[in-house]
Chains A and B, each alone.
Chain A
Amino acid sequence: MPAMAPETEGGGAAERVPAMQRLLDNHFLLLFLGVTVPAVLYLVWGIMEVAQIPIGK
């Protein structure tokens, strides 16, 4: 990731960028999470639910 070369002004050059801010600045990691989380929790789990409905007599 071409992550956040600290382009400093104001905040002071020494201040480290906290992990949470780095996450929020990492657009493609967010994209990955935003697609994977619902894909697993909603889609995959949901499809498994429907597939598991038993066959009636």
Chain B
Amino acid sequence: MAITSPEKRVWWNEPLHRPEVIWITIAFLWGLLMFGMMVYWHVAGRQNLSNEAYKVFPEKFAEKVEDMVAKYKVREEGATKIPVVRPPPGSDVYVLSRLWEWWPILELEKGATYRLHLSSMDWQHGFSLQPVNINIQVHPGYDLVLSITPDKAGEYTIVCNEFCGIGHHQMIGKIHVVDKK
């Protein structure tokens, strides 16, 4: 029994049963296949999280965001008058997170590719883009750079999905994806 020592002193040499051998083989091959899927997706898939990141000072990051806002601001939105920016396709775009907002609002062109920078000014936040359901952790002191290609037009919401204090559930932002004019 499992709660007593094996009856045979040497149990390693006992032969395996057929069903066991088959199951172990299937499970092993399935593991290899699942491992291979992740590798394969890096080569052939179109959704891979970028690992390009830099250590940054929050103030430095904020400066770049403010630059972008100064250059490309088109209007303001919401009760707190968050600037909406429309940078050119292919450019570097920034979303800054801090207690408790995503700043500014981006307006992107459908089908164009942008280099999106994410960083936090204070605590960790969770970039959760809805309804596409893309979820990325945002750290203070790190600038994560990823190339995104929004492929459907519409209004997208950034929900914060990392607990960041008492205003956590009020922390939402927006990304607009619009058709090319």
A binds B: yes
Which positions in A face B, CB cutoff 8 Å?
Answer: 6-11, 15-18, 20-21, 24, 53-57
- Structural contact, A53 and B54, CB atoms closer than 8 A: yes
Q: How far is the CA of A53 from the CA of B53 in the complex (A)?
A: 7
Size range of the chain B interface in the assembly: 10 to 19
Q: Which residues of B contact A8 (CB under 8 A)?
A: 9
Given the interface contacts A53-B142, A56-B143, does A15 sit within 8 Å of B9 by beta carbon? yes
Classify the interface of chain B: helix, strand, loop or mixed. Answer: loop
Q: Which of B7, B12, B60: most chain A Cβ within 10 A?
A: B12
Residues of chain B whose beta carbon lies under 8 Å from any beta carbon of chain A: 7-13, 53-56, 60, 142-143
Select from chain B the residue with minimum beta-carbon distance to A56.
B54
In terms of DSSP, what is the predominant structure of the interface of chain A? loop
Determine the chain A residues whose CB is within 8 A of the CB of B53 once the complex forms: 53
Of the A-B pairs whose beta carbons lie under 8 Å apart in the complex, a sample of 7, sorted by A's number, is A10-B8, A17-B12, A18-B12, A21-B10, A21-B11, A53-B55, A56-B60
B60 partner residues in chain A, CB cutoff 8 A:
56
Selected from A7, A20, A57, the residue in CB contact (under 8 A) with B9 is A7
